[in-house]
């Protein structure tokens, strides 16, 4: 691997940064301590800093030369509502919260790159380092865009990166087009008529009706959607009743839909509401149905992907870069930035050791071995795009 020597030497210090952030996780829009660390470090690197966009978001700006080209490099800040089960020294000190997705590592890798680019970077133009809050569920990327991120910091393209457990250290994966799915949620309330469990004939049982709806939802995927269009519908919550001998008056059913196509999104929403209405009507129940499109699909741009592939292959070699990975049914609010600007979102291997945990797992930890790899990618990407005229 061709890593930048100064970043390899910086690895122990970056590890300290990362482990400190890991030990003090903060969830969406509450990343005050983490933002303060980012601000202090960027300023110590001699980088101009702006803060407060989307509440706890930070943007560092570094300009060199006379060039008028500009790009953005983005990392996420927030942690998750998960109780960490690790027992190492840097485990979460906040019960019920942990960095179970590696955003502590993402923030650190971009900070390492910012330090190097400020001190040694060979480029002509402007780099905006975006440290985004609230990636997990709350759409901090959309909030930053809505608050004028790219009006205040105009760029030609924006780039993101995420670690992937199970991918070997030193590997990368990226492709043009959809690489992450949309994230939609639904909330359904089935309103029946409660009563005594010994006399079900006097009730309109919302539990029976709800189970019929859940079963029917799966027919949408198998019978209404083109089988060549990937889509997942998962019911993740079913709440109703609180006594053994009482049929409840209502139940709540909630879940998520994932796909890569706006057309499929629209079809899923339409068919779910149609099925809900039909089943409830057949049993004499009422319903309340809500469908929210939280995150759009993450769609990479062709030209920016080719640049990312070139940089990744220069670092790791052709055999270590997957240029045709299977898109993930997970989602990412970096998609909102890619709706505004061309760009690319790359996966970096977090390690494939036996027993390594998946993302959003209480035993997960970011692999500090890859810190200089990710930082090198960011540096080489910036210098490749903003290479000075010799």
What is the model's pTM?
Answer: 0.92
- Listing DSSP states for 307-332 in one string gives HHHHHHHHHH-GGGEESSPPPBSS--
The domains found in the chain, sorted by start residue, are 5-180+297-385 (3.40.630.10), 183-295 (3.30.70.360)
Cα–Cα distance between 218 and 234 in angstroms, integer?
A: 9
Phi, then psi, of 143 in degrees rounded to 5? -60, -45
* Assigned token pair, 166: 């199970």
> What are the residues whose beta carbons fall under 8 Å from the beta carbon of 152, sequence distance 6 or more?
50, 53, 59
Angle between helices 5-23 and 103-120 (to 10 degrees): 140
b/e map of 38-49 (b: 16 or more CB within 10 Å)? bbebbeebebeb
Q: Which residues pair with 298 in a beta bridge?
A: 180
* Dihedral angle sign, alpha carbons of residues 26, 369, 378, 383: positive
**Contact by Cβ (8 Å): 69, 125:** yes
Assign 356 a pLDDT band (cuts: 50, 70, 90).
Answer: low
Which neighbouring-strand residues pair with 70? 126
DSSP-assigned beta bridge partners for residue 191: 250, 286
pLDDT in tens, 125-144: 999 999 999 999 899 999 99
Mean local confidence (pLDDT), 144-158: 98
- Contacts of 364-368 spanning 24+ positions with Cβ under 8 A: 364/100, 364/101, 364/102, 364/165, 365/22, 365/86, 365/88, 366/18, 366/22, 366/99, 366/102, 366/104, 366/105, 366/163, 367/105, 367/163, 367/169, 368/11, 368/14, 368/15, 368/18, 368/19, 368/105
Mean pLDDT (the chain, rounded):
96
% the chain with pLDDT above 70:
99
Q: How many CB atoms lie within 10 A of CB 244?
A: 6
Per the rule left: phi > 0, alpha: psi between -120 and 50, beta: everything else, 141 is alpha
Task: Check if the beta carbon of residue 312 is closer than 8 Å to that of residue 377.
Answer: yes
Out of 87-96, 169-178, 345-354, which region has the weakest mean confidence (pLDDT)? Answer: 345-354
What average pLDDT does range 244-255 have in this prediction?
98
pLDDT at 354: 59
**Element counts in the chain: helices (H) and strands (E):** 10, 16
Who has greater pLDDT, 84 or 353? Answer: 84
Is 390 a residue whose pLDDT tops 90?
Answer: no
pLDDT band at 352 (very low <50, low <70, confident <90, very high): confident
355 has a pLDDT exceeding 90: no
């Amino acid at each position: 691997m061709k890593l930048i020597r100064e970043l390899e030497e910086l690895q122990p210090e970056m590890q300290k940064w990362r482990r400190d952030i890991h030990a003090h996780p903060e969830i969406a829009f509450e990343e005050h301590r983490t933002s303060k660390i980012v601000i202090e470090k960027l300023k110590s690197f001699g980088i101009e800093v702006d803060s407060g966009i989307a509440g706890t978001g930070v943007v560092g700006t570094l300009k060199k030369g006379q060039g008028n080209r500009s790009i953005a490099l983005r990392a996420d800040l927030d942690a998750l509502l998960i109780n960490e089960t690790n027992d190492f020294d840097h485990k979460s000190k906040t019960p019920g919260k942990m960095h179970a997705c590696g955003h502590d590592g993402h923030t650190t890798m971009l900070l390492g790159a910012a330090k190097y680019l400020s001190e040694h970077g060979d480029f002509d133009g402007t780099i905006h380092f975006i440290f985004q809050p609230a990636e997990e569920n709350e759409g901090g990327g959309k909030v930053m865009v809505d608050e004028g991120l790219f009006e205040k910091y105009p760029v030609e393209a924006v780039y993101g990166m995420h670690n992937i457990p199970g991918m070997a250290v030193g590997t990368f994966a990226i492709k043009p087009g959809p690489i992450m799915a949309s994230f939609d949620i639904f909330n359904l309330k089935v309103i029946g008529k409660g009563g005594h469990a010994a006399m079900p004939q006097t009730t309109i049982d919302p539990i029976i009706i709800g189970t019929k709806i859940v079963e029917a939802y799966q027919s949408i995927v198998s019978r209404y959607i083109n089988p060549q269009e990937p889509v997942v519908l998962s019911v993740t919550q079913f709440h109703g009743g609180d006594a053994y001998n009482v049929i409840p008056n209502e139940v709540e059913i909630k879940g998520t839909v994932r796909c890569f196509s706006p057309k499929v999104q629209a079809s899923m929403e339409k068919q779910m509401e149609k099925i809900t209405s039909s089943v409830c009507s057949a049993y004499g129940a009422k319903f309340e149905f809500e469908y929210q499109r939280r995150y759009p699909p993450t769609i990479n741009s062709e030209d920016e992907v080719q640049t990312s592939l070139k940089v990744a292959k220069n670092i790791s070699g052709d055999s270590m870069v997957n240029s045709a990975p299977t898109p993930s049914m997970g989602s990412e609010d970096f998609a909102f930035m890619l709706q505004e600007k061309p760009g690319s979102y790359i996966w970096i291997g977090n390690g494939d050791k036996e027993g390594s945990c998946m993302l959003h797992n209480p035993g997960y930890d970011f692999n500090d071995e890859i810190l200089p790899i990710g930082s090198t990618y960011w540096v080489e990407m910036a210098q490749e795009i903003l290479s000075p005229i010799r």
